[in-house]
Amino acid sequence: MPMDGGIGASTKRREDVRFLTGAGNYTDDINVNGQAYVAFLRSDVAHGKIKSVDTSDAAGMPGVIRIFTGADFEGIGGLPCGWQVTDRHGEPMQEPAHPVLAQGKVRHVGDPIAAVVAETLEQAKDAAEAIEVDLEELPAVVDMKAALVDGAVKVHDDLTSNLCYDWGFVEENRDAVDQAIKSAAHVTTLELRNQRLVANPMEPRVAIGDFNRATGESTLYTTSQNPHVIRLLMGAFVLGIPEHKLRVVAPDVGGGFGSKIFHYAEEAFCTFAAKAINRPVKWTASRSEAFLSDAQGRDHVTKIELALDADNNFTAIRTETYANMGAYLSTFAPSVPTWLHGTLMAGNYKTPVIYVNVKAVFTNTVPVDAYRGAGRPEATFQLERVIDKAARELGVDPIALRRQNFVTEFPYATPVAVEYDTGDYNGTMDALERMIDRDGFAARRAASEAKGKLRGLGINCYIEACGIAPSQLVGQLGARAGLYESATVRVNATGGIVVMTGSHSHGQGHETTFPQVIAEMIGIDASMVEIEHGDTQNTPMGMGTYGSRSIAVGGSAMVRAAEKIIAKAKKIAAHLMEAAEADVELKDGQFSVAGTDKSVAWGDVCLAAYVPHNYPLEEIEPGLEETAFYDPSNFTYPAGAYSCEVEVDPETGKVEICSFAAADDFGNIINPMIVDGQVHGGIGQGIGQALLENCVYDDQGQLLSASFMDYAMPRADDVPFYEVDHSSRTPCTHNPLGVKGCGEAGAIGSPPSVVNAVIDALQSGGHDVDHIDMPVSPSRVWAAMNNA
Amino acid sequence: MYAFDFERPSTVADAVAALSAEDAQALSGGQTLIPTLKQRLASPSKLVSLGGIAELQGITSDGDAVTIGAGTTHAAVAADGSIPALSALAGNIGDPAVRNRGTIGGSLANNDPAACYPSAALGLGATIVTNAREIVADDFFQGLFTTALDEGEIITAVRFPKPQAANYQKFEQPASRFALVGVFVAKGADGVRVAVTGASEDGVFRWSEAEAALGSNFSAGALDGMAPPADGMISDLHGSAAYRANLVGVMTRRAVAAAG
Ligand SMILES: Cc1cc2nc3c(=O)[nH]c(=O)nc-3n(C[C@H](O)[C@H](O)[C@H](O)COP(=O)(O)OP(=O)(O)OC[C@H]3O[C@@H](n4cnc5c(N)ncnc54)[C@H](O)[C@@H]3O)c2cc1C
């Protein structure tokens, strides 16, 4: 039995009370006295030369305070890219400038050309419409392969081509892989697209810049997953504000899914403009603006080949991927198709040699960057689809083929540079098989057929690397930032605790789970612990939340700080009990001396630390506050097995999900209910990708799916009740909690099983269809069935 | 949104007078018009709300016909049940907020090519009643977002003959959940009518081949393998013209089977 409110308890999310009763404090809820409003004039063409921007009429319109254009940002830094990839030939990637407001050229629909600051938002919009832009439209580069043809129009004139980098991984394996494929008994090949997605958090982005003339300090309130990162990037690289003069606050944030990691132009603009006009400046994105300015996700075109020997053992994998960067490099864009994708190509399987080639391409589209799973869903999808196709071609059971090739001994060094510390892939597959009644499938299929429907069962496995992660490793891989995490544990005089963490909660439930860990360690009630996050002024420098890293890295930092607290508290307790420190034990919030009836309560020790009348002042300082920075030695490797059962209506092509089961190994679990919820949400997004979501540009670079009228988000009735199982647990070997991270698994693990199930259904109906690109929409399924 | 004047008359006559101002526009449930204004895609000088006009409200069923005031909400039609197929259609428009604000008059006047109501009006052979005249459905719909209404003319009511059997089948566009294809089939005193929304580049239309086939044999089997030509069907990111043509056949057969 877990302790009430301790590790392993399904404590209800305390933050939900304020979120559900309208008491949250989101960035748009913040209004700073005297604030003005900004409206951005955005490009309505994908590619064009700016010949002139005439603001003279607009400047005289009612309420207009000042109009900014690219010229105002000349000599000011552009938006930096936080990751440098080195290509196959040892050369650095091509890295274009990314001005805050467009200079000389616009490069995607939505690229900001000018910004009007006015007394009201409507006045700002009116004036923005009155700005006259003389734009010479240029042909748009949209298709990645066409972008790389010799003589193609260039997105950035000062680069040699539209190729950002041509990455080979592991380059030394290239020949060995070619050889293994040549000599294989069987090779299965699949070409596919992992379509572009729009993150669409419920809360659009907001930025408020504020400048304090008295202190010379700037404050940015922003919808961010990592306020310290924004402070560093914007302060050091864009605006040149030293960190002690810059505060970044990310209060309640209504979802991010990756899209709120990055440093955006609007943040830099509002901070800059507030100082320039000496008034707070506020921007709130409309949903339409979000579609055109939030970094988008995925967008890979891939060919994968899987080689097998005569006994169906995997012998090699070769992939070639085109990865769309969009028009500029968003903050972490280069890392997604490389280090977050290539390193995962081994999956759960012991394939001896692997070669991954990725060509990253500039196009006249919105920049692409990390979106829930980031690179790992793309890796998982191609691998698990090609394995399914191989099983069909070879006439073997898809589960048996996977089990035969599973990695079973740990630690396991993959041929793609990572080392899995622990796992039990048969264990999660067993857990999955217990949930799905595979034996009953034939009868369920027959029942569907009696109704005129086709039924399919799809399976897949996944592994991911998260808890992102070791600073020295990512430094070697090109990261321009550290990836440790920090926490300060402040114990108050009466025993209550505030944890100030560099992690940031935007839906994950840290305010509930982090206190559970502290409560367990000290043996006090979780209600005595409060979490503070999201304000650079009162949290230690941390790297924020993404890559399923909060509990694994941020939680570990908190544990380390709490360990320091406990060690110091034991010293105080030993003094109070006149005992040897080594004999002091802490249990249920009481310090006691082994083998005696001496004890002193947690609260008394805390009070002594702040009222040090009877206190070992010669040995230790008063007070009880400790900070820790934790830098892990490896990623964590959650893994699992998922299954999906679908019914396809052959007349309309509509796919209905009948059941979905997920067996994950997350190592130790702090709050099972929250973990279930994270998996549910992730699967919802995965099903959204598999069946519904599609970000589409036409060949002029216009976004066709620019609103919810055309961009299909999953809704409650699109998804089934999920069955999830987290009983298979191999604790992480290198962090103090033995946790692995669960935030992205659902989105990484779910799309292949949906598509595998649809293909299985169509094959059962005698349709020779071996792949349909996502989203597997009714029209695409119908077209595939009818060769239309 | 651009600035506009606002009037809220309490009679049709006052509304018509108010609408005579240049660039004035009627506002009913606002479920189409308000989003358009918010996106700055329309700039009426004046909005004339029809929400305060009592004579535009309510549903009356007498004898062979059901008359629905133009200001009646989708939710009210859904709850009514005088023509079950019509109520079912209304009950599946949008979401609760849309159904409790949006009105039948607004939907017909707007004549969105993917809207549901136009197929019911055409399929049931309704008569659209305005402040000036009566227009039969066959004359009312004139292509995408285009109707027989004159400038400033207001729909006041819609009169539906009660069918012997009717059904509406909607295949939802995955994102908007408007009709990717919707088919309203009705069997009445004057024969069978099949009206199709969502599919054609010319807006709602009657599928006359299906009507003829069903006229002699009102069963799904009578339409076996039938679909209208793909020519002239909408092709977009949600489905090709051929796919939509197929769906028209499928949805019509399902509507006939469900109508019984
Ligand atoms: C999220 C969402 C989902 C939707 N889903 C569907 C759906 O699935 N199926 C569907 O059919 N519709 C759908 N709709 C549209 C909805 O039915 C609208 O309510 C309807 O199209 C317009 O009705 P309204 O009363 O809101 O009209 P308004 O928006 O007020 O007006 C629409 C137009 O009609 C004019 N007008 C209004 N009343 C009259 C009148 N009496 N005489 C003359 N002109 C008039 C106005 O001037 C305006 O041009 C959806 C809307 C939304 C927002």
Domain-located, residue A10? no
Is A712 close to B175, i.e. CB distance below 8 A? yes
Provide the CA A518 distance to its chain's centre, in angstroms.
26
Q: Is the pLDDT at A474 greater than 90, yes or no? A: no
Encoding tokens for residue A382? 């191609």
Per residue in A414-456, pLDDT (tens digit) is 999 999 999 999 999 999 999 999 999 999 999 999 999 999 9
Please state the domain count of chain B: 3
Domain-located, residue A59? yes
Residue type, A471: S
Q: What percent of chain A has pLDDT over 90?
A: 96
Helix (H, G, I), strand (E, B) or coil at A73: helix
Dihedrals φ, ψ of A582, to 5°?
Answer: -65, -20
CB-based pocket (< 6 A), ligand 1? B 25-33, 50, 70, 93-95, 98, 102-103, 105-107, 109-110, 112, 115-117, 149, 154-155, 177-178
Per the listing, tokens 């299929």 go with A445
Q: Looking at A171-216, which runs of residues are DSSP E strands?
A: 186-197, 206-212
A783 reaches B (C-beta below 8 A): yes
Is B243 close to A710, i.e. CB distance below 8 A? no
Look at residues A786, A778, A720, A731 and name the one whose alpha carbon lies nearest to residue A753: A720
Domain-located, residue A778? yes
Residues B242, B185 share a domain: yes
Residues A638, A623 share a domain: no
**Residue A1 pLDDT class (50, 70, 90 cuts):** low
Helix (H) / strand (E) containing A648: strand A639-648
Is A705 close to B175, i.e. CB distance below 8 A? yes
**Residue A656 CB coordination number (10 Å):** 16
Of B16, B32, B49, which closes a domain?
B49
Encoding tokens for residue A367? 């920049």
Domain span at residue B62? 54-161
CA angle A284, B175, B224 (to 5 degrees): 170
Is B1 close to A122, i.e. CB distance below 8 A? yes
Indicate which atom in ligand 1 lies nearest the CA of residue B33. 29
Of B138, B161, B184, which closes a domain?
B161
Per residue in B1-27, pLDDT (tens digit) is 899 999 999 999 999 999 999 999 999
Q: Is the pLDDT at B173 greater than 90, yes or no? A: yes
Q: Which of B4, B32, B122, B147 to mutate to test the pocket of ligand 1 (most atoms within 8 A of CB)?
A: B32
CATH number at residue B237: 3.30.390.50
Residues B252, B225 share a domain: yes
**Residue A472 pLDDT class (50, 70, 90 cuts):** confident
Angle formed by the axes of helices B241-259 and A778-785, to 10°? 100
Whether ipTM > 0.90 holds is yes
A782 reaches B (C-beta below 8 A): yes
Of B161, B176, B194, which closes a domain?
B161
Residues B234, B218 share a domain: yes
CA end-to-end distance (rounded Å), chain A: 58
CA of B42 to the centre of ligand 1 (A): 15
Q: Is the pLDDT at A701 greater than 70, yes or no? A: yes
Residues B44, B61 share a domain: no
Residues A381, A505 share a domain: no
Encoding tokens for residue A565? 């607290």
d(CA B259, CA A120): 55
Residues A644, A624 share a domain: no
d(CA A675, CA A664): 10
Domain-located, residue A715? yes
d(CA A615, CA A609): 7
Q: Is A39 exposed, middle or buried (0-12, 13-18, 19+ CB in 10 A)?
A: buried
Dihedrals φ, ψ of A187, to 5°?
Answer: -130, 125
Nearest-CA residue of chain B relative to A126?
B2
Helix (H) / strand (E) containing A586: strand A584-587
CATH number at residue B124: 3.30.465.10
Residue A318, pLDDT score: 98
Helix (H) / strand (E) containing A178: helix A174-182
Distances (CA, A) of A12 to A251, A254, A371, A632, B97: 21, 19, 27, 29, 30
Domain span at residue A38? 31-138+202-255+260-293
**Residue A134 CB coordination number (10 Å):** 11
Per residue in B201-223, pLDDT (tens digit) is 999 999 999 999 999 999 999 99
A120 reaches B (C-beta below 8 A): no
Of A630, A661, A695, which closes a domain?
A630
Dihedrals φ, ψ of A779, to 5°?
Answer: -65, -35
A777 reaches B (C-beta below 8 A): yes
- Paired sense of beta strands A246-249 and A217-222, if any: parallel
Residues B58, B29 share a domain: no
Q: Is the pLDDT at A469 greater than 80, yes or no? A: no
Helix (H, G, I), strand (E, B) or coil at A159: coil
Looking at the DSSP bridge assignments, the partners of residue A584 are: A593
Residues A441, A356 share a domain: yes
Dihedrals φ, ψ of A73, to 5°?
Answer: -110, 10
CA of A511 to the centre of ligand 1 (A): 43
| Longest pairwise C-alpha distance within chain A | 86
Residues A453, A382 share a domain: yes
Domain-located, residue A167? no
d(CA A472, CA A483): 9
Residues A693, A587 share a domain: no
Q: How far is A451 from chain B (nearest CA, A)?
A: 14
Q: Is the pLDDT at A220 greater than 70, yes or no? A: yes
Residue B150, pLDDT score: 97
Residues A519, A497 share a domain: yes
Residues A302, A223 share a domain: no
Mean pLDDT of chain A: 96
Residue A533, pLDDT score: 96
Kindly report which listed range (A306-320, A353-367, A478-492, B82-96) carries the lowest average pLDDT score.
A478-492
Residue type, B72: T
Helix (H, G, I), strand (E, B) or coil at A75: coil
Helix (H, G, I), strand (E, B) or coil at A512: helix
A765 reaches B (C-beta below 8 A): no
CATH number at residue B25: 3.30.43.10
CB-CB neighbors (< 8 A) of B175 in chain A: 692, 705, 708-713
Residues B201, B141 share a domain: no
d(CA A749, CA A755): 12
B175 vs A122, A653, A711: nearest CB: A711
**SS3 readout for A740-767:** CCCCCHHHHHCHHHHHHHHHHHHHHCCC
Residue count (chain B)? 260
Residues B67, B39 share a domain: no
The DSSP letter of residue B8 is: -
Q: Is the pLDDT at A788 greater than 80, yes or no? A: no
CA end-to-end distance (rounded Å), chain B: 48
**Residue A156 CB coordination number (10 Å):** 19
Encoding tokens for residue A272? 């800059």
CB-CB neighbors (< 8 A) of B250 in chain A: 651-652
d(CA A694, CA A114): 29
Is B240 close to A788, i.e. CB distance below 8 A? yes
Of A272, A293, A314, which closes a domain?
A293
Of A630, A660, A690, which closes a domain?
A630
Helix (H) / strand (E) containing A558: helix A556-577
What is the pLDDT averaged over residues A614-642? 95
Per residue in B100-139, pLDDT (tens digit) is 999 999 999 999 999 999 999 999 999 999 999 999 999 9
Q: How far is B8 from chain A (nearest CA, A)?
A: 24
**Residue A63 CB coordination number (10 Å):** 17
Q: Is the dihedral of CA A52, A53, A55, A57 positive or negative?
A: positive
**Residue A487 pLDDT class (50, 70, 90 cuts):** very high
Is A712 close to B174, i.e. CB distance below 8 A? yes
**Residue A702 pLDDT class (50, 70, 90 cuts):** very high
Domain-located, residue A701? yes
Q: Is the dihedral of CA A689, A692, A693, A697 positive or negative?
A: positive
- Residue A335 near residue A85, CB atoms below 8 Å: yes
A651 vs B40, B175, B250: nearest CB: B250
Per residue in A538-553, pLDDT (tens digit) is 999 999 999 889 999 9
**Residue A721 CB coordination number (10 Å):** 7
CATH number at residue A739: 3.30.365.10
Helix (H) / strand (E) containing A65: strand A64-69
Half-sphere exposure of B183 (CA within 13 A, CB side): 28
Secondary structure (DSSP) of A456-491: EEEEEEEE--BS---HHHHHHTTBSS---EEEEEEE
Residues B99, B173 share a domain: no
Residues B59, B118 share a domain: yes
Q: Is the pLDDT at A4 greater than 90, yes or no? A: no
pTM for this predicted structure: 0.96
Please state the domain count of chain A: 3
Domain-located, residue A521? yes
- Residue B86 near residue B77, CB atoms below 8 Å: yes
Is A782 close to B243, i.e. CB distance below 8 A? yes
Instruction: Report the C-alpha dihedral over residues A378, A382, A387, A392, rounded to 10 degrees.
Output: 130
CATH number at residue A120: 3.90.1170.50
Residue B254, pLDDT score: 98
Residues B130, B58 share a domain: yes
Domain-located, residue A652? yes
* Nearest Cα residue to atom 32 of ligand 1: B106
The DSSP letter of residue A154 is: P
Residues B125, B73 share a domain: yes
Distances (CA, A) of A645 to A141, A339, A766: 39, 32, 18
Angle formed by the axes of helices A751-764 and A672-687, to 10°? 50
Residues A525, A666 share a domain: no
Residues B183, B91 share a domain: no
User: b vs e for B68-82, b when ≥16 Cβ sit within 10 Å of the residue's Cβ?
Assistant: bbbbbbbbbbbebeb
Q: Is the dihedral of CA A676, A677, A680, A682 positive or negative?
A: negative
CA of B75 to the centre of ligand 1 (A): 13
**Residue A174 CB coordination number (10 Å):** 17
* Nearest Cα residue to atom 19 of ligand 1: B102
Residues A383, A234 share a domain: no
Residues A394, A322 share a domain: yes
Residues A696, A560 share a domain: no
